[in-house]
Amino acid sequence: EKIDLTSLVADTVSTFQGAYKRQFHFIQEVGTVFVNGSRDQLEQVLYILIENALKYSKEKIEIKLSEQNNLATFSVRDYGQGIPETEQSRIFERFYRVDKARNRDTGGTGLGLAIAKTITDQHHGTLSVKSIPGEGSTFSLALPVD
Ligand code: ATP
pLDDT tens per residue across span 8-41: 999 999 999 999 999 999 999 999 999 999 999 9
Can you tell me which atom of ligand 1 is nearest the CA of 51? Answer: 4
ipTM score of complex: 0.96
pLDDT at 92 over 90: yes
Q: What is the DSSP letter of 106?
A: G
State the number of CA atoms in the 13 A half-sphere of 42 facing the CB: 29
Chain-centroid distance, C-alpha 35: 17
How does pLDDT run across 8-17, given as a tens digit for each residue? 999 999 999 9
Q: 11 has which bridge partners? A: none
Rounded Cα–Cα distance for residues 137 and 43 (Å):
20
Structure confidence at residue 8 (pLDDT):
98
Is residue 76 a contact partner of residue 139, using CB atoms and an 8 Å limit?
A: yes
Q: What is the CA radius of gyration of the chain?
A: 15
Helix (H) or strand (E) run with residue 128 in it: strand 126-132
Q: How many A from CA of 112 to the centre of ligand 1? A: 7
Ligand 1 mean position, distance from CA 32 (Å):
30
Nearest to 49 by CA among 38, 40, 61: 61
DSSP assignments along 63-74, one per residue: EEEEEETTEEEE
Pocket around ligand 1 at a 6 A CB cut-off: 48, 52-53, 56, 78, 80-81, 83, 91, 96-98, 103, 108-114, 137
